[in-house]
Structure 1
Amino acid sequence: MQFSKKLVLSIGVIVSGLCTFSASAADIQAGKSKAVTCNACHGNNGISMLPMYPNLAGQKEQYLILQLKAFRDGERKNMLMSPMSTGLSDTDIANLSAYYASLDPAGK
């Protein structure tokens, strides 16, 4: 099967757009402000003091976006995270994800 250059280029542009989609327009400072509620379990700098809660510092931004949306939308259920995420907008999620992704996973 032979593909035309135009088709291959179009697919490349679409895939490139999907791969580079990020919350780069997200507001890290707004995420930090919103994260005050998250700090109780995930720590002030994204490093949890309790082993049952995951560290969020340095996590990949897109991973955090997908997980928060899954909790919010009921695709992923957790006794604590499901209710905590229900009021988050897509902008809130982008900002929180950008904030946690910007943190040093070593806690420095």
Structure 2
Amino acid sequence: MMRVAIAVALAAGMTGGASADPAAGHEKAAMCATCHGMDGIGTNPEVPHIAGESEIYLMAQLRAFRSGERQHQQMSIIAQSLDDQDIRDLADYYASIRFEVTVPDY
């Protein structure tokens, strides 16, 4: 029970209490599409797939790029232009993407 309360408190702190808008995130994702694709699947082997990632994880990473805690030539610049609502919306959009994984039968 304590873990659930901690997880809920952490999630509320990460989102700042404001609700995310995945439709707005979809529109904002146009700036991400060159590398991550609108579907969240990286278009280059050096670009991570972000489709279906945890919203909390995605928000934390975008905030780390924005603050300079995490560095990347392009992501650091892009994240500087994002406010907290942009980050919530983008994270919610990419977290809402679902895909299927098929493990081969050997």
Q: Which runs of 4+ in 1 moved over 4 A?
A: 11-14
Uncovered stretches (5+) of structure 2, i.e. residues with no partner: 102-106
Distance (Å, rounded) in 1 between the aligned partners of 2:77 and 2:7: 34
Distance (Å, rounded) in 2 between the aligned partners of 1:27 and 1:104: 17
Distance (Å, rounded) in 2 between the aligned partners of 1:83 and 1:48: 18
Aligned match of 2:30? 36
Q: How does 1:10-49 map to 2 (within 5 A)?
A: 15=6, 17-21=8-12, 23=15, 25-49=19-43
Aligned match of 2:49? 55
| TM-score, length-scaled by structure 2 | 0.80
- Percent identical among aligned pairs is 40
Aligned match of 1:80? 74
Aligned-residue CA RMSD in angstroms? 2.5
Distance (Å, rounded) in 1 between the aligned partners of 2:50 and 2:94: 6
User: Is the aligned partner of 1:69 residue 2:60?
Assistant: no
Deviation at 1:105, TM superposition (A): 3.8
Please identify the structure whose Cα radius of gyration is greater: 1
Counterpart of 1:18 in structure 2: which amino acid? A
| TM-score, length-scaled by structure 1 | 0.79
Match of 1:93 among 69, 72, 87: 87
Deviation at 1:90, TM superposition (A): 0.3
Cα–Cα, structure 1 residues 78 and 20, in superposed 2: closer, same or farther, change >3 Å? Answer: closer
Aligned match of 2:104? none
Distance (Å, rounded) in 1 between the aligned partners of 2:82 and 2:11: 23
CA shift digits 1:22-77 (9 cap, x unpaired): 64820000000000010000012111121110011000000000000000011111
Distance (Å, rounded) in 2 between the aligned partners of 1:46 and 1:104: 10
Distance (Å, rounded) in 2 between the aligned partners of 1:15 and 1:29: 29
